[in-house]
Structures are given as C-alpha cells and as structure tokens.
Amino acid sequence: MHIFTPFIAMMRSRKLARQFREIERRVQALPPRSRSRLSMLTQREISQAARSDFPHLYGTSPELRYLPWGQGTDAGYERARSVTNEVSLRGIALWLAVAYHETRNSPHASLQPQYRQLMRMLHQLKDVSQGEDTIESWMRAGEAA
C-alpha cells in the first residue's frame, strides 16, 4: 500500500488543482459585496470544520470517515457551479474550508502547491472582508480544535 500512496496523493493533487482553477475563476468574477459575504461564510465553514473530529472529512457522511479524503470538496465544487448565487457562495466556502484542512498539514509534497494557492486566496478574501483579523481568527480556530 505504501507504494501506491504517493500516486494516490498525486492524483488527488491534480483533482484539487483542477477544481481550484474553477473556484478561483468564480471568486474573481464575484462583485465586492459577494466576496465579503463569501469571506464570512468561509470563516464560518473553516471554524465548523475545525470543531469536527476529522476536519479534512468535513461534509462527508460519518460512515465514510475512514477514507483518506472526504467528499466535502466534491460537494462544495458541485454547489459552487450552481446558478443560484447563495448556493454557489456556500459551495465555494465549503470547498475552501475542506481543501484548507485537507492540505494544511499534509505529509504529501504534491499537495503543498494547493495549500499555498489556497492561502493566497484566503488572504485575498481577508483583504476584501470588513474584519481586520479574519484570516488570523480562521487559523486560530483551526488550531484550537
């Protein structure tokens, strides 16, 4: 199994990179007010995920908790592609939260570029939001759990 783990991580990295490009396009297309709302939603999702037993599996059914990666990013990605603005914003927030927790302390080098991209986007959202220390509170919420 140890032989396949790097290959599985690399495939996961590619999937997250592909999804991230679409998420990034959608975030860039949002008007400032929607970005501010997205910032608040993302903060809430990251905090809720941090409080769960397995933050990287946030949004995944409890019976599937033994998977190396959950279904939260897939669920968020599908919602993000919705034509309904609120559903799309909530999907983007879910995707960002799960991907953040999944890549944050990953031992797989192939997932580190996705983590850096996510952090850049989270910092951009922080800059748009009205709260000055939003990103720091997101990070502290993740460490406290």
Q: Which two tokens stand for residue 111?
A: 């997932």
Mean pLDDT of 60-82: 82
Confidence of residue 1 (pLDDT cuts 50, 70, 90): low
Packing angle, helices 134-144 and 112-128, rounded to 10: 130
Question: What is the SS3 assignment for 119?
Answer: helix
Confidence of residue 141 (pLDDT cuts 50, 70, 90): low
- Residue 46: partners with Cβ closer than 8 Å, 6 or more residues away: 96, 97, 100, 101, 138, 141, 142
User: Which alpha helices (H) appear in the chain, and where do they start and end?
Assistant: 5-28, 32-51, 72-80, 85-104, 112-128, 134-144
| CA gap 12, 9 in Å, rounded | 5
* Per-residue pLDDT reduced to its tens digit, 97-122: 999 988 888 888 888 999 999 999 99
| Candidate ranges 62-66, 92-96, 110-114; pick with highest mean pLDDT | 92-96
Q: Which two tokens stand for residue 123?
A: 């910092």
Q: Are 28 and 122 in contact (CB under 8 A)?
A: no
With vertex at residue 102, the alpha carbon angle to CA 120 and CA 85, rounded to the nearest 5 degrees, is 65
Confidence of residue 138 (pLDDT cuts 50, 70, 90): low
